[in-house]
Structure 1
Amino acid sequence: MTTRRKALEQIAVGCTALAMPNWSLSSTNQIMKRPIPSSGEKIGIVGLGTWQTFDVGSSSTAREPLKDVLKALINAGGNVVDSSPMYGSSEKVVGDLSSELRLENKLFYATKVWTTGKQSGINQMKSSMQKMRCETMDLMQIHNLQDWKTHLNTLYDWKERGIVRYIGITHYVDSAHDELERIIKSENIDFVQVNYSINNRNAEQRLLPTAKDKGVAVLTNRPYSGGSLFRKTKGIKLPEWALEFQCESWGQFFLKYLLGNPAVTCVIPGTSKERHMIDNLGAGIGGLPDEVMRNRMVKHLQSL
């Protein structure tokens, strides 16, 4: 897999070259993109989550490595960055760094509303947009379905007025999947964000097929099951047959399983380390497993 390794090396080299903003220097090996069903606009299939990882406040020392994470994302053709007011200072850190790196027109900004009441929701969303320095928010999601009926009415109005481009709903536990499915069927939303991993496949039963059928884009959170997948595979060699779909790490193994499901639009693992971002991006380069291979991946993991 020399070609694939060179592709990832070029991403890393490109990130170093981008010490000063110069976005003409980009890798020729870009991650795949998938369309948002409601519009046809394409986004990178590997994005970036910011829970905990970007909650670093104003510390310049802690912020500096995060610039390299954002550079790696852009250099590989990625663009989705997901945040929330629940994530401490993450929204402001994303906004400050993306402005400093001149990424305003290169990122697909996603955040959430996480409060109760119409005016409280409006105030919080305006605050989030200010922190992320977005005049128009690409994607505003209702976090964990908190007072979702109230916020959805506001978001319908905001979308019509061009304040937000897309509307979404989110959750992170299996018990919410039925309600997410009902909302997808009854409301006019663009995105659903849901917990999904190779060892937690409840979303495959009904939620993901419904999203695909209704033309709703899917973001996946908790792709590593809170790190438990890495603990399970620590010290264990990746199976040789993983190279059949250009997979070179366990992280890519877990992400490629998700991306092998055509209902998934983008995975958003969180990281504060450039090398992990580059490895994650590798899941979006090369082949993806078909259904037969995905079943083999599940059985292999269960055998460990």
Structure 2
Amino acid sequence: MHTRLIPSSQQPLPVIGLGTWQTFDVRSTSAYPPLQQTLATLHAAGGTVIDSSPMYGRAEEVVGDLTSQPEAPDAFFYATKVWTQGREAGIQQMEDSLRKLRRPSIDLMQIHNLVDWKTHLRTLRDWQAAGKVRYVGITHYTDAMHDELARILSSETLDFVQFNYSILDRHAEKRLLPVAAERGVATLINRPFTEGNLLLRVRGKALPGWAAELGITNWAQFLLKFLVAHPAVTCVIPGTSNPAHLADNLLAGEGELPDEATREKMAAYVRGL
């Protein structure tokens, strides 16, 4: 799988990861086997990033349970979030996340949807200095907040920013992606399928014949490869609990990537469907 460097550390990160919103929020261990296979599929393809949040129900705890075997814990890059008001509440929530994920420290802690971000950022600076978090980031999921994310990136030193971006939702290209590149901030891309709407749009439609020139064999690969090809994108994190769907997604991180002219051709084709 292709990798991109995290600018603040030069650590390589595989370009396709896994989101856990809804998909890993299960109530019974009887639902664990396919999720275990999903994580095994991610690992086998060279993927590492697992993104979660306290907002996602039991997802953190489920990830912790499934990666608790002796050989598994350090095989992944764990990203989660703080999503509450106030310093003490934030500390308690982050401690709870470490406990649920069964981690003494976390690779990436993000301030979810900018909730009380100034308060939590001060705490995270301390945690980062103490080695409890490796990287610090901020997130949102709507176009309306891209300018605010860019403004914060311009005024604060951060390692990551997570936001929405897809082949038909390209608002992030206007300012946010350029600012992230300029400031040396790694990017995680959420909602790459616009919560499944893009997959519904292309369902039953034929891939263009020229997609084969890029080694593209399915629509998930087509939609994700468009994103991965942007030079300011570090990692895309589509959510799924289905190992077969994840295997399709992961193919986007391999092989030739489209140039800018081909990316525009890809977007025009999807718009025309």
* TM-score, structure 2 as length reference: 0.99
Letter paired with 1:235: G
Q: In the alignment, does 2:133 pair up with 1:164?
A: yes
Q: In the alignment, does 2:160 pair up with 1:183?
A: no
Match of 2:174 in 1: 205
**Gaps in structure 2 of 5+ consecutive residues:** none
Match of 2:26 in 1: 56
Match of 1:94 in 2: 63
Match of 1:13 in 2: none
- Equivalent-residue separation in structure 1 for 2:203 and 2:10 (angstroms): 39
Match of 2:17 in 1: 47
What is the DSSP-based 3-state SS (H/G/I as helix, E as strand, rest coil) of the residue aligned with 2:192?
coil
Q: In the alignment, does 2:154 pair up with 1:194?
A: no
Match of 1:130 in 2: 99
Deviations 1:14-64 (A, max 9, x none): xxxxxxxxxxxxxxxxx111110000001111000000000002x122111
- Equivalent-residue separation in structure 2 for 1:135 and 1:100 (angstroms): 15
Letter paired with 1:189: L
Report 1:198-277 matches (<5 A).
Answer: 198-277=167-246
Aligned length: 273
What is the DSSP-based 3-state SS (H/G/I as helix, E as strand, rest coil) of the residue aligned with 1:105?
helix
Match of 2:38 in 1: 69
What is the DSSP-based 3-state SS (H/G/I as helix, E as strand, rest coil) of the residue aligned with 2:67?
helix
- Equivalent-residue separation in structure 1 for 2:214 and 2:153 (angstroms): 32
Q: Provide closer, same or farther for how the CA distance between residues 101 and 286 of structure 1 changes in structure 2, counting only shifts above 3 A.
A: farther
Q: In the alignment, does 2:98 pair up with 1:145?
A: no
What is the DSSP-based 3-state SS (H/G/I as helix, E as strand, rest coil) of the residue aligned with 2:73?
coil
Match of 1:9 in 2: none
Q: In the alignment, does 2:6 pair up with 1:36?
A: yes
Q: CA deviation at 1:101?
A: 6.9
Residue identity (%) = 56
**Gaps in structure 1 of 5+ consecutive residues:** 1-30
Q: Which runs of 4 or more aligned residues in structure 1 lie more than 4 Å from their structure 2 counterparts after TM superposition?
A: none
Match of 1:288 in 2: 257
Q: CA deviation at 1:201?
A: 0.3
Q: Please, which of 67, 74, 78 is the counterpart of residue 105 of structure 1? A: 74
- Equivalent-residue separation in structure 1 for 2:39 and 2:10 (angstroms): 25
Letter paired with 1:43: L
What is the DSSP-based 3-state SS (H/G/I as helix, E as strand, rest coil) of the residue aligned with 1:140?
strand
- Equivalent-residue separation in structure 1 for 2:210 and 2:32 (angstroms): 38
- Equivalent-residue separation in structure 2 for 1:184 and 1:253 (angstroms): 30
Match of 2:83 in 1: 114
Q: CA deviation at 1:244?
A: 1.5
What is the DSSP-based 3-state SS (H/G/I as helix, E as strand, rest coil) of the residue aligned with 1:225?
coil
Deviations 1:140-197 (A, max 9, x none): 0000000000000000111011110000000000111011001101001000000000
